[in-house]
Amino acid sequence: MPDIKITPQGVQKVAALARLGLTEQEASQSADDLAGILGHFSVIQQIDTADTPTSDDVTGLQNVARTDVAQPNDLCTPDELLAAAPAVHKGQVKSKAVFS
Amino acid sequence: MSLPSTILAASEALDSKKITSGELVDNVLKKIDQWEPHLNAFLEVFNEEARAVAQKRDKQSDAGKTPLHGIPIAIKDLICTVTGRTTAASKILQRFKSTYQATVINRLEQAGAIIIGKTNLDEFAMGASNEYSAYGPVHNPWDFTRVSGGSSGGSVAAVAAGEAFAALGTDTGGSVRQPSAFCGTVGLKPTYGRISRFGVIAYASSFDQVGPITRTVKDNALMLEVLAGVDEYDATSSPEPVKKYTDYCGRDIKDMKIGLPQEYFGPDVDPSISQTVRAAADKLADLGAVLVDISLPLMYAAIPTYYLLVKAEASSNLARYDGLRYGALDIKTDNLLNHYLEARGRYFGPEVKRSILMGTYALSAGYVDAWYKQASRVRTLIRREFEQAFQQVDLIVGPVTPEVAFPIGSKTDDPLQMYLADLLTDPASVAGLPAMSVPCGFINKLPVGMQIIAPHFREEKIYQAAYAYEQANDWWQQIPALPEK
């Protein structure tokens, strides 16, 4: 099993990309867990896939599309959706500022 | 009269006025009361709502009765219902109330079913034991010290214990089949795209499938007839015509070719499981099937392929849980980024965090070719290997699990060991194939499941073989004993 090196700092970098807050203890445990799991999973890197395409669909569906028109409100209404939001302002969902 | 235990028996009793839907619901609710302190299979029970629907069903005239008229059914809490909450067994969705229902719920209701409640699962369906639920594990009805399996552990335990006549689960890498094997129910993962995923909380979108869980094979076929079919709201649902699956229950299996892959009976599988499933395969041969030894040499690569792809898809799918939508959380921060970090850090459980980290890593610049894309190419090779096998045989048969239900707590500290529990269910998932777990015996009073895998959209062949096997045995008639109060 090849040695996969993952440090707690490396985990924190990935966690930041995923917007996931982790404690130091979680980052350290995750580094050990992921190194062990990915070490085990690295067997697939020995498989020759030079001429093999990726699997983007498993049953052969192609070009599935619908016409670009608004659907009737038979699932729920915009008002019901807005009622489910934590805060609303003039018919729109309100959140904290993205840019400070 | 003795109370019916299957959908078909209950329908017959309803038709002949021997029982009312209200009585069926009352009986199921009574069983829920008796079993739940031991099982923890339900996250929410719809007592009043179910009784009200039953009353309505009992008042409807006999004309145009639908296939699931008056039948109480439980739903994995990963599937959106407008009644109650939909939590995915996660704290991050603890207050989420869906504004619309999944297509599968609408189809069940149109068929006359009564939704009895929402069942426990591993958080966001990530797990093989139901121990990763934020609301406690589900206990196995055959032995409370053991896991139910997962991730559809609550749905399966509920059906095994008679708390519902059927249940919906979801299966990404074995989450219907593996707990069905552990608890002795019939569980089908249909072909990818056979059933709409609209309104089902996404784990890994190129794998996820809703699957019916029942006591018997014919009940399962009936459920699939109701659930299957194209849905305008799910672009990945297939336009392939839906067959009358119940018609295949009772057809003989003479000359049906059944492949036994040597890798499904390898050293990582408990010898007593291999023996039990081989004996079941021999029974299929007694019934006229022809057994063929085959090989699927890439099976060893199925777990890494599966987990790399699934966790990558999960990291993307779970990006939507930002702590702002899907129910308010108790977070007080001064800016948006800190809100995200805190919501996701505090309210996701350990396996979900591990998944997001692994998936983000496998998709990140510099690693995506070696991990994600390589796994996707190996997926193509595994699919081709199954396609070749199905040129030789009609069905593939093997065990569902490498061991019987394991003790609660025995794998939770070792995530890799938990992943390896999927050894025999991941391959069919990677290839998008339909596969079923059907009860085939007991080891030390714990159920064992036989897995039957078919080519894409050939679920009817699975039902044909599974029904023939089931009727030649009495495993399905054995039920776990109701605990004393």
| pLDDT of B453 over the 80 cut | yes
Instruction: Please name every residue paired with A35 in a beta bridge, in sequence order, or none if there are none.
Output: none
Please report residues of A whose CB lies closer than 8 A to that of B337. Answer: 19
Q: Would you say B154 and B111 are in contact if contact means Cβ atoms under 8 Å apart?
A: no
Is residue B191 situated within a structural domain? Answer: yes
pLDDT of residue B208: 98
| pLDDT of B141 over the 70 cut | yes
Is residue B61 situated within a structural domain? Answer: yes
- Report, as an integer, the average pLDDT of B144-160: 98
| pLDDT of B125 over the 70 cut | yes
| pLDDT of B1 over the 60 cut | no
Question: For chain A, what are the domain ranges?
Answer: 8-46
| Max Cα–Cα distance, chain A, nearest Å | 58
The tens digit of pLDDT for each residue in B437-449 reads 999 999 999 999 9
The tens digit of pLDDT for each residue in A41-56 reads 999 999 999 999 999 8
Is residue B321 situated within a structural domain? Answer: no
Q: Would you say A92 and A84 are in contact if contact means Cβ atoms under 8 Å apart?
A: no
| pLDDT of B163 over the 70 cut | yes
pLDDT of residue B142: 98
Asked if B380 lies within 8 A of A52 by C-beta distance, the reply is yes
pLDDT of residue B254: 98
The tens digit of pLDDT for each residue in B179-218 reads 999 999 999 999 999 999 999 999 999 999 999 999 999 9
pTM greater than 0.95: yes
The answer to whether B99 contacts chain A (CB < 8 Å) is yes
pLDDT of residue A100: 66
Please report residues of A whose CB lies closer than 8 A to that of B383. Answer: 55, 58
Q: Would you say B395 and B389 are in contact if contact means Cβ atoms under 8 Å apart?
A: no
Query: How many domains, chain B?
Result: 1
pLDDT of residue A60: 85
What is the Cα–Cα distance from B172 to B180, expressed in whole angstroms? 14
- Report, as an integer, the average pLDDT of B151-162: 98
Structure tokens at B96: 């989420």
The strand order across the sheet containing B186-189 reads B42-45, B114-119, B72-76, B166-171, B209-214, B186-189, B435-443, B446-453, B395-399, B257-261, B290-294
| Candidates B238, B340, B381; nearest CB to A61 | B238
Interface of B with A in 350-369 (CB under 8 A): 353-354, 356-358, 360-361, 364
pLDDT of residue B63: 66
Q: Would you say B36 and B43 are in contact if contact means Cβ atoms under 8 Å apart?
A: no
| Catalytic one of B90, B151, B155, B237 | B151
Residue B282 banded pLDDT, cuts 50, 70, 90: very high
- Report, as an integer, the average pLDDT of B162-189: 98
| pLDDT of B221 over the 90 cut | yes
- Report, as an integer, the average pLDDT of B244-253: 98
- Report, as an integer, the average pLDDT of B346-357: 98
From residue B185, give the alpha-carbon distance in Å to each of B12, B66, B75, B204, B361. Answer: 21, 24, 15, 25, 37
Which stretches in chain A have pLDDT values below 70? 1, 100
Q: Phi, psi at residue B417, to the nearest 5°? A: -60, -40
ipTM score of complex? 0.94
Write down the mean pLDDT value for chain B.
96
Report the CATH number that the domain containing residue B412 is assigned in CATH: 3.90.1300.10
Q: Is B76 a catalytic residue?
A: yes
pLDDT of residue B8: 97
- Report, as an integer, the average pLDDT of B56-82: 92
Residue B57's domain comprises 7-297+383-477
Q: Would you say B213 and B159 are in contact if contact means Cβ atoms under 8 Å apart?
A: yes
Is residue B335 situated within a structural domain? Answer: no
**CB neighbour list of residue B423: distance below 8 Å, 6 or more residues apart:** B268, B269, B302, B303, B402
